[in-house]
Amino acid sequence: MSNAISALNGATWAEGIAAVTEAPMQGMITLRGPLSDAKLKKAATTVAGVDMPGAGQAHVADDRGLCWMSPDELLVLCPYDDVAANTETMQSHLGDLHSLCVDVSDARAVFDLSGPHAREVLAKLVPVDMAPDQFTPGMFRRTRMAQVPAAFWMHDSDTIRIVCFRSQAQYVFDLLTTAAQPGSAVQIF
């Protein structure tokens, strides 16, 4: 097995109004099926170690968690090296339930956008109200970041964790660093 590295090999940039850091490899499992089904809930919460999130919510603690992707889809986060074992565990809980459970870790890239101006840097790129009283911790949002799909949540009070497709990692890194150029603060929030 070759040594897995992230799309930009941990690129970081901290010369602007917010810091951009590519996160290390993050285990991600797409789980599709009826989210209200007890078997599915058991499969998801057992490997993620958190409660089921409601619509539009994410329950994430460090590198484990559950993100609500759509009415029939969850994104399960876990340590990268645990993905194969966790997928097996999930499949054993799912049994014959009509569902899908697949490793998507290598199809994604993850970035942390941090600092007091993180919200307004992201607000330049997404059609989402990033005001602190509108986009709150615990919320999970899939949307468009400039020209590519992205999803994000508040990982802590001034860090936003962003997930995008791996093939678009350089584009997203360039977007974030451009939007965070020195002197570009809007001071809107």
**Interaction between residue 69 and another protein (CB under 8 A):** yes
DSSP class of residue 54 equals -
- Which is it for strands 26-32 and 73-79: parallel, antiparallel or unpaired? antiparallel
Minimum CB separation from another protein for residue 48, in Å?
20
Minimum CB separation from another protein for residue 150, in Å?
8
Q: How far is CA 48 from the centre of its chain?
A: 14
Structure tokens at 104: 């998507």
Cβ neighbours, 10 Å, residue 50: 17
Q: Which of 3, 71, 95, 96 binds another protein (CB under 8 A)?
A: 71
**Interaction between residue 144 and another protein (CB under 8 A):** yes
Give the three-class secondary structure for 29.
strand
Q: Which stretch binds another protein (CB under 8 A): 5-13, 18-26, 66-74, 160-168?
A: 66-74
Cα–Cα distance, 67 to 151 (Å, whole number): 10
Q: Which of 143, 157, 167, 181 binds another protein (CB under 8 A)?
A: 143
- Pick out residues in 115-134 that bind another protein (CB under 8 A): 127-128
> Interface residues with another protein (CB under 8 A)?
55-56, 69-71, 73, 127-128, 141-144, 149
